[in-house]
Amino acid sequence: MTATTDGSTGALPPRAAAASETDTDTDIPEAAGVPDAARRAVTRATEYLLARQDAEGWWKGDLETNVTMDAEDLLLRQFLGILDEDTTRAAALFIRGEQREDGTWATFYGGPGELSTTIEAYVALRLAGDAPDAPHMAKASAWIRDQGGIAASRVFTRIWLALFGWWKWEDLPELPPELIWFPTWVPLNIYDFGCWARQTIVPLTIVSAKRPVRPAPFPLDELHTDPEHPNPPRPLAPATSWDGVFQRLDRALHAFRKVAPRRVRRAAMNTAARWIIERQENDGCWGGIQPPAVYSIIALHLLGYDLQHPVIREGLASLDRFAVWREDGARMIEACQSPVWDTCLATIALVDAGVPADHPQLVKAADWMLGEEIVKPGDWAVRRPELPPGGWAFEFHNDNYPDIDDTAEVVLALRRVRHHDPDRVESAIARGVRWNLGMQSRNGAWGAFDVDNTSPFPNRLPFCDFGEVIDPPSADVTAHVVEMLAVEGLAHDPRTRRGVEWLLAEQEPDGPWFGRWGVNYIYGTGSVVPALIAAGIPAAHPAIRRAVAWLESVQNDDGGWGEDLRSYRDVRKWAGRGASTPSQTAWALMALLAAGEKDSRAVERGITWLAATQKEDGSWDEPYFTGTGFPWDFSINYHLYRQVFPLTALGRYLNGEPFTGRLPAPGARAADRPLAEAKGM
């Protein structure tokens, strides 16, 4: 692992002082024994989780990110002229509540202040009427100036400010709408970007071409280091470097803007608009995530779609459904919603904890998941036009972008349930397995949404200074697919073995695996070890032993495990280090249990920690962010993680590894059918 630093300050790596901030409502009596404590915890956690299933069969926990979602929601409504007093007051209440003592806003619990997030939160509070000389505002603006002011913020933040004349459009990277016409073999075509970036960039090409400015309701001089010169020039990198090449390309695009034929540009924007409208989901959103919806609404509105047009009206209604209203009247905006992901994980947890496979609530969950299967092509078909559809997305509605990770976990969940219509289940599983196999990248691994989405060029664009914009294969997604394929009887299939070989090659020298979609090395390791064992790698294999040794070496003194998001920036200091959390402790336990370490002291201490920190109602507290959208840049607190993963780990401790001696009879599984029935498997 390569160590890098971000220069941030924060708590020291809490190895020796890693006691969780979770309240402990019950201690484990010495005489009770670890198994008895685990059984009691499983009973309470099972009751808690079952009680929170929706009547339709799904589970969904809040998906908490950071206040940029709330700030940008207010800025959108201000731009469209629909900002109302109640929404503003509720959003401001939430944003104020997230401000730290030093006046800043962070992107994850306990993290350092972040400049762009703080700027957007500050502007949102100005829209809500907070005076710039109020103590909390003055403290924020002083910190912003100390960090370089608006000029030092990321491109997305400056785009929002440019909409109101607080930044100059000509000082932003150019995004020409003609990009929509690039064929797939041309570098920087829209399919070179990850699906989330693609859905954002296409509408932003229209916004960039239009360069709209709405009258600013107030100045922001207090956020500039030099109000007289708010737009300082940015230095050019050497022409021999990639950064220098792309900076000069951006200058050329700015020059092209001045001479681009109006008819051609108008046609490009209309093509982009059709692309956007074709990808609006049935619920009015785009891709099931907030950022593309916001920019798509702005782009279409700039092209003349009024607020009562069905596309705009339904888009705005979809954003309202991302609002979580809290008891104190505050309003938090989710960046996304995770019902499919939460439901399959909850199903897995409950069955592994001992709930009967034909329990009515599990059958209802299976029915709901079966109804969410995506049976039409999406953007993935650009790279795999011959592959039949089949798979699941993350959200309620996202038919254009099923994802490989959800599909693998849904198959694992459906496989656990004894359903009254087994043929329907088997057909859906067969389609999901076929689709996942068809989405394997050339290197033998799997990304989240697309095949071979590994172009080196998108990350070089001056526009792309925030988060991941490509979707290369990752260890955690690959592991989930490998585990699913092994359960489906395909452990010895050459494609599965290629995935196994890739995973073995990706192991870090000291034992863990990098976690792309969860924090971080604990998540990666907790995903990979069970998959390798399921695929037939023996527990005595050196890779498994290295992983076990690493997990034991980073176990906290309180018996749990935790890893701070800073491990994405400072590997040497933070990898596997952080205050103990329920979800990360569970991931470590799932790996150790799969590796045959049930009777080890490390597992005993981890199970004890989970049982001791459980609340009386059967739940756990977890303020820490253990999920990611983009490592470090965009972090997620999945509120159901604290429930489903501890229950899974406790269940496997008591009941053994899933499918051991419990696999369906031969002939019942998708993998036992002739491969000719599923061309492409």
Question: For this structure, is 450 an active site residue?
Answer: no
Residue type, 56: E
Q: What tokens appear for 673 in the block?
A: 């059918």
* Residue found by looking up tokens 């593309």 in the block: 292
Q: What tokens appear for 269 in the block?
A: 């924007």
How many Cβ atoms from other residues are within 10 Å of residue 601's Cβ?
11
Place 309 in a pLDDT band, splitting at 50, 70 and 90: very high
Domains of the chain: 30-61+338-439+474-677 (1.50.10.20), 64-222+232-333 (1.50.10.20)
The per-residue pLDDT for range 96-116, each reduced to its tens digit, is 999 999 999 999 999 999 999
* Residue found by looking up tokens 């990350």 in the block: 459
More confident residue, 231 or 516: 516
pLDDT of 6: 44
Report the alpha-carbon distance of residue 530 to residue 595 in Å, rounded: 7
- Sort 218 into a burial class: Cβ within 10 Å, 0-12 / 13-18 / 19+: exposed
The pLDDT of residue 22 is above 60: no
Q: Mean pLDDT for the chain?
A: 91
pLDDT of 254: 85
More confident residue, 23 or 537: 537
- Indicate the DSSP class of residue 576: T
The per-residue pLDDT for range 39-84, each reduced to its tens digit, is 999 999 999 999 999 999 999 999 999 999 999 999 999 999 999 9
The pLDDT of residue 681 is above 60: no
- Sort 599 into a burial class: Cβ within 10 Å, 0-12 / 13-18 / 19+: exposed
Least confident of 266-270, 353-357, 390-394, 460-464: 460-464
- Nearby residues of 183 by Cβ (< 8 Å), 6 or more positions away: 189
Place 164 in a pLDDT band, splitting at 50, 70 and 90: very high
Do the Cβ atoms of 416 and 351 come closer than 8 Å?
yes
Catalytic residue (one of 405, 406, 471, 493): 405
pTM: predicted TM-score of the whole model, two decimal places: 0.91
Place 648 in a pLDDT band, splitting at 50, 70 and 90: very high
